[in-house]
């Protein structure tokens, strides 16, 4: 097997999106806002060329080759985010104790979960908007990392330990993931 000297992945930049590359820091600006990411940990080179972003590495090994794909996927998600945004929906499920969910500042409060007196909390990350309607929670924003991590933190806050998960189904669960809905 012959190793390639240069491995390159290209990311097309749409007309209404501005991508700025400053060494290993990327700023993507679009109609919905801007996202900034630092890829200083990645052993890759990024540069703009003819409306495309090139992510490349010289004489890459297996790990570096994988990092090229990872960085290009992150940039693609940033572009989709500033154009369309991301939206996750969660369902509130309970059998016996009716739980209530509230949003206060940058925290989601889950009260009366399994009859607990102290509310469980989940932090809202970044510029993510969380809304609660009846038995559904909507998490939306332009950065997929912040949106998905906020949804995961809300779901994780209602995880039941030391009980059979087939019987105790109470909790908050992600049931829908959409891109391009803002």
Residue-wise pLDDT for 89-130, tens only, equals: 999 999 889 999 999 999 999 999 999 999 999 999 999 999
The reported pTM is 0.89
Q: Quick check: 52 and 12 in contact, CB under 8 A? A: yes
**DSSP-derived secondary structure letter, 15:** T
pLDDT in tens, 128-177: 999 999 999 999 999 999 999 999 999 999 998 888 888 889 999 999 99
Q: Quick check: 142 and 33 in contact, CB under 8 A? A: yes
User: How many other C-beta atoms can be found within 10 angstroms of the C-beta atom of residue 72?
Assistant: 20
Rg (CA), the chain: 20
Residue at which a domain ends, from 64, 83, 102 = 83
Number of structural domains in the chain: 2
Could you give the CA distance from residue 143 to residue 146 in angstroms, rounded to a whole number? Answer: 6
One domain for residues 23 and 101: no
Q: Which of 7, 16, 172, 2 is nearest to 82 (CA)?
A: 16
pLDDT in tens, 27-75: 999 999 999 999 999 999 999 999 999 999 988 889 999 999 999 999 9
- 1 within some domain: no
Q: Quick check: 92 and 109 in contact, CB under 8 A? A: no
CATH code of the domain in which 54 resides: 3.90.930.12
| Residue range of the domain that includes 146 | 86-179
Helix, strand, coil shares of the chain, percent, nearest 5, are 20, 45, 35
């Amino acid at each position: 097997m012959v190793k390639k000297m240069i491995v390159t992945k290209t990311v097309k930049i749409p007309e209404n999106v501005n991508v700025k590359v400053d060494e290993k820091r990327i700023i993507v600006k679009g109609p919905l806002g801007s996202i900034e990411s630092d890829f200083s940990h990645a052993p890759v080179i990024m540069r703009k060329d003819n409306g495309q972003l090139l992510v490349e590495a010289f004489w890459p090994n297996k790990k570096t080759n994988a990092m090229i794909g990872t960085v290009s996927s992150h940039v693609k998600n940033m572009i989709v985010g500033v154009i369309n945004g991301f939206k996750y929906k969660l369902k509130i499920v309970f059998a016996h104790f009716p739980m209530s969910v509230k949003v206060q500042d940058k925290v989601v409060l889950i009260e009366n979960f399994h009859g607990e007196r102290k509310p469980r909390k989940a932090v809202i990350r970044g510029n993510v908007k969380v809304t609660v309607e009846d038995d559904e929670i909507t998490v939306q924003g332009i950065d997929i990392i912040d949106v998905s991590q906020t949804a995961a933190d809300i779901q994780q806050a209602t995880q039941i330990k030391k009980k059979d998960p087939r019987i105790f189904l109470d909790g908050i669960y992600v049931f829908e993931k959409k891109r391009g809905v803002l």
